[in-house]
């Protein structure tokens, strides 16, 4: 009998549970709430923070889990941007995290996985005038969560600008002065818009805005969470920036790989430009050492 299993059940929404009995790991996915992973238990330890009230409210932005950021990360000035002479309005972090995703497939053969899909529609085209398809496969295997991504430009002629990312909320005990193991030397502090040297430790306590590590040399970061565990994120090089953020009196830190910095759709200096008919693939892996 396989130690991997995929099952679905109802809890406000339809949830899909990926489980790995050998490592006491499970992942919870909610396709209809932005394709979000709301739970990530690896080796018996739940890594994600989740504010269940925001998750259960269909109009609230979910505080917790791992929201998908597409086609932008962060915000735009006045939540608007101009493209080809037209002005569009777009909410923070784009359209994917509030959309209903379709379940394409599940598997328990050698892994526990679910593949979900989001295609452009009337709602997305009003704020982002590009035909696209996103296909994400969440794979739980050997106590690790892999997020395999496919970004497709379905347009017949126009190149598609975007910069995607993730917004995982990691549960911590209390202390937000955390040592992050990552190859970087500088960060931008959005609280005062000053560049500062990075010595490996960031204290997010009391900071309202995020900080962004600027010169990441290797696409990997590790940091301590609860119960003495160490979380490690590894991801493709296209995610050039690492954003750190928290909220006062909430027991979490967000550790977020982004393809570009906030407001990039306005600057248009580091946009990913995907040609018509082409596809970009990427991966991110979350692991835990106890």
Q: Are 217 and 230 in contact (CB under 8 A)?
A: no
State which residues form the domain around 51. Answer: 4-175+213-289
In a domain, 194, yes or no: no
Q: What is the domain-level CATH number for residue 117?
A: 2.70.98.10
pLDDT at 197 over 90: yes
Other CB atoms within 10 A of residue 127 CB? 16
In a domain, 79, yes or no: yes
Q: Residue 75 — very low, low, confident or very high, per pLDDT cuts 50/70/90?
A: very high
pLDDT at 174 over 90: no
Comparing CA positions, the residue from 22, 26, 29, 24 lying closest to residue 8 is: 29
Alpha carbons 278 and 26: distance in angstroms, whole number:
33
In a domain, 180, yes or no: no
Q: What is the mean pLDDT of the chain?
A: 96
The pTM for the full model equals: 0.97
Q: Residue 2 — very low, low, confident or very high, per pLDDT cuts 50/70/90?
A: confident
In a domain, 198, yes or no: no
Q: Which pLDDT score is estimated for 1?
A: 65
Residue whose tokens read 């493209």: 83
In a domain, 135, yes or no: yes
Average pLDDT over residues 11-23: 97
Tell me the pLDDT tens digit for each residue of 113-139: 999 999 999 999 999 999 999 999 999
In a domain, 228, yes or no: yes
In a domain, 189, yes or no: no
Q: Which pLDDT score is estimated for 241?
A: 97
Per the structure, the count of domains in the chain is: 1
- Cα 181-182-183 angle, rounded to 5 deg: 135
Alpha carbons 234 and 173: distance in angstroms, whole number:
23
Alpha carbons 167 and 180: distance in angstroms, whole number:
16
| Percent of the chain at pLDDT exceeding 70 | 100
In a domain, 203, yes or no: no
pLDDT at 181 over 90: yes
């Amino acid at each position: 009998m396989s130690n991997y299993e995929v099952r679905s059940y109802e809890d406000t929404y339809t949830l899909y549970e990926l489980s790995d009995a050998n490592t006491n790991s499970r992942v919870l996915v909610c396709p209809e709430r932005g394709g979000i992973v709301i739970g990530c238990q690896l080796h018996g330890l739940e890594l994600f923070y989740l504010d269940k009230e925001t998750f259960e409210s269909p109009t609230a932005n979910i505080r917790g889990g791992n929201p998908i950021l597409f086609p932008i990360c962060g915000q735009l000035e006045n939540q608007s941007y101009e493209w080809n002479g037209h002005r569009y309005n777009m909410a923070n972090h784009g359209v994917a995290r509030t959309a209903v995703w379709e379940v394409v497939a599940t598997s328990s053969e050698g892994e526990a996985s679910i593949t979900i899909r989001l295609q452009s529609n009337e709602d997305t085209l009003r704020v982002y005038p590009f035909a696209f398809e996103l296909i994400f496969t969440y794979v739980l295997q050997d106590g690790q969560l892999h997020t395999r991504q496919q970004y497709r430009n379905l347009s017949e002629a126009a190149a598609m600008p975007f910069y995607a990312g993730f917004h995982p909320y990691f549960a911590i005990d209390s202390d937000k002065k955390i040592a992050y193991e990552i190859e970087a030397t500088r960060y931008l502090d959005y609280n005062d818009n000053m560049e500062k040297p990075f010595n490996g430790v960031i204290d997010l306590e009391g900071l309202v805005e995020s900080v962004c590590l600027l010169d990441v040399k290797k696409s990997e970061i590790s940091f301590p969470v609860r119960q003495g565990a160490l979380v490690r994120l590894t991801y493709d090089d296209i995610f050039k920036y690492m954003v750190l953020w928290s909220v006062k009196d909430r027991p979490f830190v967000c550790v977020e790989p982004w393809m570009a910095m906030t407001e990039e759709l306005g600057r248009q200096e580091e946009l990913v430009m995907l040609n018509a008919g082409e596809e970009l693939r990427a991966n991110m892996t979350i692991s835990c050492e106890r």
